[in-house]
Amino acid sequence: MNFRLSLLLLLVLISFSVYSQDTGKLNNINSINIELGGFTPLGTVYYERVIINHQNFKTTGQIGYGIEGFPIIVNELVSFNSNHIEVGLGVLLPEHLTSSPLDITKPFLTGRIGYRYQKPNGRFVFRIGLMPIATQDSYGMNVITDNTWYVWPGISFGYAF
């Protein structure tokens, strides 16, 4: 009986030590962020959720609102403890649709390349990066099209929960 009790106590102690180790996963998987610049030059407020949460790789989804549009982005994070490299791809839906049938506003292809600081158990989120935006402008009766790339810098502060 003494041996079984000792074995049980040993297993409990081992499980606590394994449980207390940092796994590298983000424990706060939702966040609200305010970004200056970025997807919409006047700033964006967005909600983000971690979809896949592994030790070194995480996938997040974001949806936001800025004065000029609604960004919807999927990001991949490569993690080194509290430091993350962020690469994303998505669309920017323009807020204003024009009334002319010949000048229809289309969604823009966009993305993110940047750095993110967030501790695995932390609530503070800091991000800085570049957001490329691809536009396709049409002229006249859609005979001439012009593909243009813009790159906007952005800095973001957020709260994870």
- What CATH number does residue 104 fall under? 2.40.160
Domain that holds residue 45: 2-160
Residue 9 has pLDDT above 80, yes or no: no
pLDDT, tens digit, 9 for 90 and up, residues 21-63:
445 688 889 999 999 988 877 889 999 999 999 989 999 999 9
Number of domains in the chain: 1
Give the count of beta carbons closer than 10 Å to the beta carbon of residue 68. Answer: 16
pLDDT top residue among 40 and 126: 126
| Whole-number Å distance between alpha carbons of 96 and 67 | 10
**How do residues 73-123 score in pLDDT, each as one tens digit?**
999 999 999 999 999 999 988 876 544 444 546 788 899 999 999 999 999
